[in-house]
Amino acid sequence: MAQVINTDNSNVRTILTGDRPTGRLHLGHFVGSLKSRVQLQEKHRQFILVADMQALTDNNGNPAKVRENVLEVVTDYLAVGIDPQRTTICLQSALPAISELAMLYLNFTTVARLERNPTIRSEIVHRGFERSVPAGFLCYPVSQAADITAFDADLVPVGEDQAPLIELANEIVTRVNNQSGKSTLKNMEGLYSETPRLPGVDGKSKMSKSSSNSITLGSSPEEIRAAVRQMYTDPKHIRVSDPGTVEGNVVFSFLDAFDQDKNEVDALKEHYRAGGLGDMVLKRRLEDLLQSLLEPIREQRKRFAADPEYVLSVLRTGTEKSRDVTSETLCRVRKDLGHFIL
Ligand code: TRP
């Protein structure tokens, strides 16, 4: 049975979300998910999983990268205001029930189904795996279904690209329940961010942990300035008087994401399109916004980074709590499916 969390508020939902610890978190994570996690923790029962096992599915040759980023990512969470009193932060590899569930769920889907997943297909192309795709990588959506169901989560805040994974997870839930004849597992809903994905500063692709096109949460004022200066705009907008293009212009994508004054942004777009508005004016406006957004985060980050023992204790405490939750789910699933339990 799902636990009763808060009897006087039936709107309390269980939220599970996670990140692969493969690099520092950046502004793309901030607008895409971190900001909403800080709000969600006020009203809901939230778990955040540092998905180090999933990170290995495409970094098996580089365990140091994953190991070194575990505490960095937790430090990022704390710096943006995720409060360990309200959100349980936990480590995937220290929750063996998740791996056991994943192993069971592998039998509730097919290789053909996994190969059809559009997100996985494009990730395989992007990483150049072709037929050498690690089996763990092809199956990581199954392990993600285990992540979500292990916590009996109702809501999963993720980027749009994760929608096919939510669909698969719900399919697995249905199959398990059909087989057990009970409501063993709960269906979940994806909670998709309204902000479109933030592009990288080079305008070539989305902002990414692994490439140098990102502005990380701990960036120094100089790094922020340099990143804004080199931001891709409209290469055909040479003189201030030239008409400019807003679409695909990274500075405008950022203003859309960070500038609260939507009317002013609309006016700036109109001015830019008509000609007479220089890139430098826009970049200065954006830099000011980013400097004031990131200054307190950077300061908090420094404070937590100076106390790795504390960061570790947050992760340890959250993981211990999660161990109980996830092993209860595993027991229930095995019992409902009629497995031999020693
Ligand atoms: N696949 C997610 C990403 O790359 C990370 C993740 C792992 C996750 N487990 C999860 C997200 C469970 C939501 C729920 O961003």
- 3-state SS, 59-71, equals CCCCHHHHHHHHH
Could you tell me whether strands 87-91 and 155-158 are parallel, antiparallel, or unpaired per DSSP bridges? unpaired
Contact 34, 82 (CB under 8 A): yes
Percent of the chain with pLDDT over 90: 89
How far apart, in whole angstroms, are the C-alpha atoms of residue 289 and residue 200? 17
pLDDT (tens digit, 9 = 90+) per residue, 160-214?
889 999 999 999 999 999 999 999 999 999 999 877 789 999 998 888 876 679 9
pLDDT at residue number 5: 47
**Cβ neighbours of residue 251 under 8 Å, at least 6 residues apart?**
228, 231, 233, 279, 282, 283, 286
Nearest CA to ligand 1 atom 7: 18
The answer on pLDDT for 145 being more than 60 is yes
pLDDT (tens digit, 9 = 90+) per residue, 216-270?
999 999 999 999 999 999 999 999 999 999 999 999 999 999 999 999 999 999 9
How far apart, in whole angstroms, are the C-alpha atoms of residue 200 and residue 177? 42
The answer on pLDDT for 137 being more than 70 is yes
Least confident of 27-31, 62-66, 85-89: 27-31
- Taking residues 66-81, report their average pLDDT: 98
pLDDT at residue number 210: 66
Q: Which of 15, 17, 322 to mutate to test the pocket of ligand 1 (most atoms within 8 A of CB)?
A: 17
27 or 193, greater pLDDT: 27
CB of 294 shorter than 6 A to ligand 1? no
Confidence of residue 31 (pLDDT cuts 50, 70, 90): very high
Contact 176, 185 (CB under 8 A): yes
Residue position matching structure tokens 């020693």: 342
CB of 166 shorter than 6 A to ligand 1? no
pLDDT (tens digit, 9 = 90+) per residue, 101-115?
999 999 999 999 999
Confidence of residue 313 (pLDDT cuts 50, 70, 90): very high
Residue position matching structure tokens 């695909």: 248
- For 221, the 3-state DSSP assignment is helix
For residue 254, how far is its CA from the centre of ligand 1 (angstroms)?
24
- For 11, the 3-state DSSP assignment is coil
For residue 190, how far is its CA from the centre of ligand 1 (angstroms)?
11
The answer on pLDDT for 16 being more than 70 is yes
CB of 149 shorter than 6 A to ligand 1? no
The answer on pLDDT for 6 being more than 70 is no
Nearest Cα neighbor of 172 from 124, 117, 135 is 117
The answer on pLDDT for 45 being more than 90 is yes
Contact 117, 144 (CB under 8 A): no
Nearest CA to ligand 1 atom 8: 18
